[in-house]
A and B are shown apart, each in its own frame.
Chain A
Amino acid sequence: MTCSEFLALLDDLIDDSVSTDTRTELEKHLKGCEHCEVTFNTTRKTIEIYRSHEIYELPAGLRERLHSAIMARCKKGC
């Protein structure tokens, strides 16, 4: 397996949607390729960091304003 072939399957590997045979091939490539190993580990970490950190906090008071807007809309008929 070449690095390009590995890369083409990188997302499937990260998303755990590869067959057992393909996984074995990918693992074999990783064992001998530092470049792809680093790419795989750091790409997975990238996703994990974005999933686990809130980078846009909900502004204070927004929920209340939304609630009032919905209630106002509701008075017109809901």
Chain B
Amino acid sequence: MEFPQPKAMATIQPIAGENEQHPDVALVERVRNGDVSAYDTLVRKYERQVFRIAQHITQNREDAEDVMQDAFLKAYEKLDQFQGNSKFYTWLVRIAVNESLMRLRKRRTGKMVSIDEDVETDEGNVPRDLADWAPDPEQNYTQAELAEILRKTIQGLPQGFRIVFVLRDVEGLSTEETAETLGLSVPAVKSRLLRARLQLRERLSRYFRRKKGGEK
């Protein structure tokens, strides 16, 4: 069997080579020298990602809006602490994740919130559902229907799996960056990622499975 090359889907720009300065570092330098417009450029570049992460964690639009604002303001205030040896984007994501978890804690009036929440301990990974999917199954739905299906499906994942999947597969962080951001070990990230991917796949099968003859 041939493995087709994955399509270019990630929205994150590739990291600059080792000797090449990432454009974000130059922007951060400009902000440090008093050029606020450079910060606007960074905001526009990453606002969608930060909002998505906040929405995935808080699962509440108002909270996500507040988190996005707080995260960018905090990053602005702490810019002096940003070390050029890490990527600005992963540094910003770490702030956004922490702000999101703080917001959840606040909403639950101080109840402990952790990324380990709802993570089951059983290791049963073998998929039960063998149903194959229709070719291009998303084309059977309108954009709005599809977005609703994808939202509902990912919202049903345990928080600890959802965050790993979002950071690693949607927002383009590496396994190591995801582990560092969430304070998890690399094996823990790998284990959660596999289970998140398999659970999402199984849940999406309800909508995308190939219909049998005559079935609507």
Measured CB to CB, the residues of A under 8 A from B are 3-4, 7, 10-11, 13-14, 16, 27, 30-31, 34-35, 37-39, 41-56, 58-59, 62-63, 65-67, 69-71, 73-74, 78
Number of A-B pairs, beta carbon distance below 8 Å: 127
Interface of A is mostly: helix
Given contacts A45-B208, A62-B65, A74-B36, 14 further A-B contacts (CB under 8 A): A10-B194, A30-B1, A39-B201, A45-B137, A51-B170, A54-B48, A54-B147, A55-B147, A56-B55, A65-B65, A66-B47, A66-B69, A67-B40, A70-B73
- Chain B contributes a number of interface residues (CB within 8 A of A) equal to 56
Contact call B65/A70, Cβ cutoff below 8 A: no
In the complex formed, the residue of B with least CB distance to A62 is: B65
Chain B residues whose CB sits within 8 angstroms of the CB of A56 once the complex forms: 51-52, 55-56, 64, 151
- Chain B contacts for A69, CB-based, 8 A: 69, 73
Residue of B137, B197, B200 with highest tally of chain A CB at under 10 A? B197
What per-residue 1/0 map shows which CB atoms of B141-165 lie under 8 Å from chain A?
Answer: 0010011001100100000000001
Closest 7 pairs between A and B when the two form their complex, measured CB to CB: A51-B9, A56-B55, A46-B201, A43-B201, A55-B150, A38-B132, A55-B147
Contact of A53 among B146, B169, B194, B200 (CB under 8 A): B146
State the CA gap A70–B170 with chains docked (Å): 27
Q: Which of B126, B204, B205 meets A49, CB within 8 Å?
A: B204
Q: State the CA gap A46–B154 with chains docked (Å).
A: 11
Q: How far is the CB of B31 from the nearest CB of chain A, in Å?
A: 8
A63/B44 contact (C-beta < 8 A), A70-B73, A78-B34 known: yes
Is the C-beta of B91 less than 8 angstroms from some C-beta in chain A?
no
User: Is B39 located at the chain interface by the 8 A CB criterion?
Assistant: yes
B51 near A37 with CB under 8 A, answer no
B residues whose Cβ falls under 8 Å from a Cβ of A: 1, 3, 6-7, 9-11, 34, 36, 39-40, 43-44, 47-48, 51-52, 55-56, 61, 64-65, 68-69, 72-73, 76-77, 125-127, 130-133, 137-138, 143, 146-147, 150-151, 154, 165, 169-170, 190, 193-194, 197-198, 200-201, 204-205, 208
Assuming the contacts A51-B169, A69-B69, asked whether A42 and B146 have C-beta atoms less than 8 A apart, the reply is no
| 14 contacts across the A-B interface (CB closer than 8 A) | A13-B3, A34-B130, A39-B198, A39-B201, A42-B208, A43-B197, A45-B208, A46-B200, A48-B6, A51-B11, A55-B150, A62-B65, A63-B43, A66-B43
